[in-house]
Amino acid sequence: MQVFYFYSPLLIAKTQEKAYYIIEVIKMDIKELINRRKNQLKLTYLDIAKACDVSEATVSRWASGEIGDMKRSRIAALAKVLQVPPSVLIEDDGFEEDPNILKLERTLEKISDFFQDNGFSLDFDTYDCDKYLLVKDGKIVNAFNLADLLLFYEDAKNHGNFKSLPAAYTIPVLGLVQAGVPITAVENIIDYEELDPKEYKRPEEYFGLKINGDSMEPKLFKDDTVIVHQQSSVENNDIAIVLVNGEDATCKKVTFNDQGIILVSLNPKYEPMFYSLEQIETLPVTIIGKVVELRRKF
């Protein structure tokens, strides 16, 4: 199997004169690389095939792992369409002996061992390749970029302080919520927001959603971001994210009566949408979560 290394430069410190970086290396095979960047860039197999001058079937076989090797000319073209420098696509021959990589690996192993000895575990955040998750008793305590992780580690090691957690936890902002697609699906993520872990006790249960349309004006406008708590039921008159008939989810005020559920737009030019108890089951009508906060950028 041909193995590639995907580099992510992480800022450690910055002065007026110079920024200091450490390189994080994520080891992945070709199918993982293609699928990750395909989803992030919203590409199709056909887009990649045209750029690499191969058939769509060939790209599909790359992405499934059927073909593990490729010509160097294909690597250059693949790097271009996936928007990574060709230098980040390097074969496995002797590369792991790079001293910077070995130093980083040893550092992360030492940090991971330290946390394990103190009842924590260090996991990888699938939302954000620059984040590490600190987990205790199966629950996410918080998320760190590498710089924050190193600072927290030094404070905990030298002073026994495990409470100086970063000020915020990163959650994904989605462009849409689709039926049959996990909320955490990479292809839906368009941005990130930060939550205060003191206010949000289980931040892993939240996601952001970009508002699309004017049905919730004057309270929510197009391109606003709402913070949503994942839950399958809400109270009467709550604003919720609701999935109807397998289509993309919608943001509406929810009211209930003995006959069913009513999805109400705040904009008076849109009529309320009523669904009977039978339709709730057969369409179905599914509550994804409750809107708990509005984030608006000016």
- Tokens 């397998």 correspond to 246
DSSP character at residue 227: E
Q: Which residues pair with 132 in a beta bridge?
A: 124, 144
124: its two tokens: 């990888």
Closest CA to 100 of 24, 11, 6, 20: 24
Mark 18-27 as b/e (b = at least 16 C-beta within 10 Å).
Answer: eeeebebbee
AA letter at 181: V
Contact 95, 107 (CB under 8 A): no
Just list the catalytic residues: 215, 252
CA atoms lying within 13 Å on the CB side of residue 247: 5
Contact 241, 249 (CB under 8 A): yes
Q: Using CA atoms, how far apart are residues 157 and 162, in angstroms rounded to an integer? A: 9
- Residue 269: Cβ-neighbour burial (10 angstroms; 0-12, 13-18, 19+): exposed
Distances (CA, A) of 222 to 31, 212, 215, 298: 36, 5, 9, 12
Q: Using CA atoms, how far apart are residues 133 and 169, in angstroms rounded to an integer? A: 10
Q: Using CA atoms, how far apart are residues 245 and 225, in angstroms rounded to an integer? A: 24
CA-only gyration radius of the chain, Å = 23
